[in-house]
Amino acid sequence: MKKIEAFIQPEQFEAVKKELFAAEVFKMSVSQVKGCGQQKGYTESFRGQAVDINLLPKTKIEIAVNEDFVQPTIDAIIRGARTGNIGDGKIFVLDLPQCIRVRTGETGSKAIG
Ligand SMILES: Nc1ncnc2c1ncn2[C@@H]1O[C@H](COP(=O)(O)OP(=O)(O)OP(=O)(O)O)[C@@H](O)[C@H]1O
Ligand SMILES: [Mg+2]
């Protein structure tokens, strides 16, 4: 099992979701975050309040998948998110040791799918 975490441009989210659904990936968690990549972010004080200068809004998508869905999920995210511009996003793939469905107590691959 793997956990895929993608940080994408918010305006690409609908396209990414469409590609994920087309790849039969329906389970996901989505949140709005702030982030920066290699263009570097920093925080400055403006009238006594901390202001994020280069921390830009990003959409974070978290998806837990069984092994056979890892590459299709990555490919779908790239298809939806890539414009060729700086800041298109980044995908992290993490090992996922366990998953438990609360209602049934199912664990592992059964609980993810
Ligand atoms: N090393 C990292 N650790 C944690 N989050 C990251 C990292 N790199 C990127 N991110 C997250 O991903 C978002 C998108 O990153 P981004 O696409 O700007 O990557 P990049 O490496 O700067 O590539 P590019 O040069 O194409 O912009 C960032 O705003 C941040 O939220
Ligand atoms: Mg960047």
Evaluate if residue 62 carries a pLDDT over 80. Answer: yes
Check residues 108 and 39 and name the one with the higher pLDDT: 108
Please list, in sequence order, all residues whose beta carbon lies within 8 angstroms of the beta carbon of residue 5, skipping any fewer than 6 positions away: 60, 61, 62, 91, 92, 94
Q: b vs e for 17-39, b when ≥16 Cβ sit within 10 Å of the residue's Cβ? A: bebbeebebeebeeeeeebbeee
Ligand lying nearest the CA atom of residue 58: 1
Ligand nearest to the CA of 81: 1
Instruction: Dig out the tokens for 47 from the structure.
Output: 């009238």
Q: How many helices and strands, by DSSP H and E, does the chain display? A: 3, 6
Going by CA atoms, what residue is nearest to atom 28 of ligand 1? 36
Summarised one tens digit per residue, pLDDT across range 75-92 is 999 999 999 999 999 999
